[in-house]
Structure 1
């Protein structure tokens, strides 16, 4: 029992921290919520086909095609980062590295 606890702490704690920091924990929670609806959800909403609604809204011009995951997983999806923010951060980091090497 003690070994299982020690193993769980040494593996589970760093893995959980990594998932939370990278935003993957929120994605896993949202994906789980799609497969298993919360108990307080109305029965007609449990099996709602959000991807079908998304494609209908694309045809109407109401949704940008790059917003599929945010639309399907809900408004809380990708609160931490988005593709555009990641691109900007990587560009800034690259520029900082170039300036650091030029300064030395």
Structure 2
């Protein structure tokens, strides 16, 4: 796949409302968890739950690298990568469903 085609596919996958809403929710949860306070714990758990299953896979792969992975900003970076991967997958799923519905003759909301 050429770089231009890859960039166009990624833009279409991440540019839909479902992926944008997912990324906004993830950003809010990470911000609430990082700010600490009384809401830091539940927000952190929700942020981890939202990143499953790719977040768990990334943490499992990074865990043998040493204890530094569990400290500082490293977990937040791993969560951000997980959120981007999942938003891309959600966008590709949504794109495929729209194409399937358009091909079957079902009515689909027009693109903006």
TM-score by length of 2: 0.31
Please identify which structure carries the higher helix content. Answer: 2
Structure with greater Cα Rg: 1
